[in-house]
Amino acid sequence: MPVACLAAVLACLASLLWGAGDIGPAQAWAVLMGQGSEEARFVVTELRAPRTVIGIAVGMMLACGGALMQVVARNPLAEPGLLGVSAGAAFAVAIALLLGMEAAGLHVLVAQAGALLGCLFVMSTVRLSGARQDPVRLVLAGAALSSLLVALTSLVLLIDQRAADEIRFWVIGSLAGRSLEALGGSLPSLMLALALTLWLVRPLAALALGEAVASGLGHHPGRVRKLTVLVVALLVGAATALAGPIAFVGLAVPYVARALCGADIRRTLWLCLPLGVVMLVSADVVSRLLVRPSELPLGVLTTLLGAPVLIAVVRARRLPIL
């Protein structure tokens, strides 16, 4: 955990020092030391700092959402970005825009409602005969749902040009241009998600031992699953409202966390917090530098980084049981 926290701090520092513009690390460091030009101070404090804070929040939310979804689905391939949860949130935003809502007035609840519908579809798929024993089937079903939602979102773009201009942000996934006010709007739901997560940790650890054991310990498996789905929808919906659909963070981070500290959700969940920050903020820094002075969409870069992890997990001789 200390090493992961140190890596997260270094990733955040890199996010403040490097960007696609003309302000280099030396100028940005001078600003952090209380000096520097007005232009450098504006870039660091008004552009890079809010972007870093939002990246920290989105990284934590996606990593925790992925860890919780994998535990409740008992499937190591269950990931919000792969199974249509993020796509559901983005589609809900597209529909809201088509109905006339302005982007600035969009409430995070719209995205969370779409994420909740995606979660319910995923959990319905898990309950299908044999799906729990075959993780790849769940991914295939999720990929089909994601493709359908992306196609419907694209149809919205064709119908309404105004929506197309505003929805482009949610289609590609990016931290650029986001303000702290957008994060403030999601704080009430995040506080609720945090409180529920703290309550769910012990029941989820018991549920990993089997429903009979969990019931014997006084927990209610059905209630635990429903509340976990609600928490995943709150986290992923808020993250999608802030940064658009970003895939593979919820898959790669819990996978690395389990490799470092085992499958116990009481340890992996908290390790996911700094690791999620490391992956998302580092990917955002790289996205700024690869095609300077332009930026590569963050969602594209996380896909490039996470796809090898998915292939490695699927090609593993024996998928881990959660």
pLDDT tens digits, one per residue of 268-288: 888 888 998 998 898 888 888
pLDDT tens digits, one per residue of 116-139: 887 777 667 666 655 555 556 666
Structure tokens at 198: 């703290």
Rounded mean pLDDT, 242-252? 81
Asked if omega into 293 is within 30° of 0 (cis), the reply is: yes
Closest CA to 249 of 239, 259, 264: 239
pLDDT for residue 129: 52
Four-point Cα dihedral 168, 169, 171, 174, nearest 10: 140
pLDDT tens digits, one per residue of 28-60: 888 888 887 888 888 888 888 888 998 899 889
DSSP string, 49-73: HHHHHHHHHHHHHHHHHHHHHHHHH
- Which residues contact residue 209 at a Cβ distance below 8 angstroms, ignoring those fewer than 6 apart? none
pLDDT for residue 130: 56
Coil vs helix vs strand at 106? coil
pLDDT for residue 56: 92
- Which residues contact residue 10 at a Cβ distance below 8 angstroms, ignoring those fewer than 6 apart? none
pLDDT tens digits, one per residue of 65-88: 888 888 877 777 777 777 777 778
Per the CB < 8 A criterion, the answer to whether 247 and 26 are in contact is no
Write down the H helix ranges in the chain.
2-17, 25-32, 38-42, 49-73, 85-98, 108-126, 135-159, 161-172, 180-207, 211-216, 221-243, 249-261, 265-289, 298-315
pLDDT for residue 320: 54
pLDDT for residue 105: 52
Report which listed range, 167-171, 221-225, 279-283, is most confident: 279-283
Structure tokens at 248: 């593979």
Name the least confident of 147-151, 192-196, 306-310.
306-310
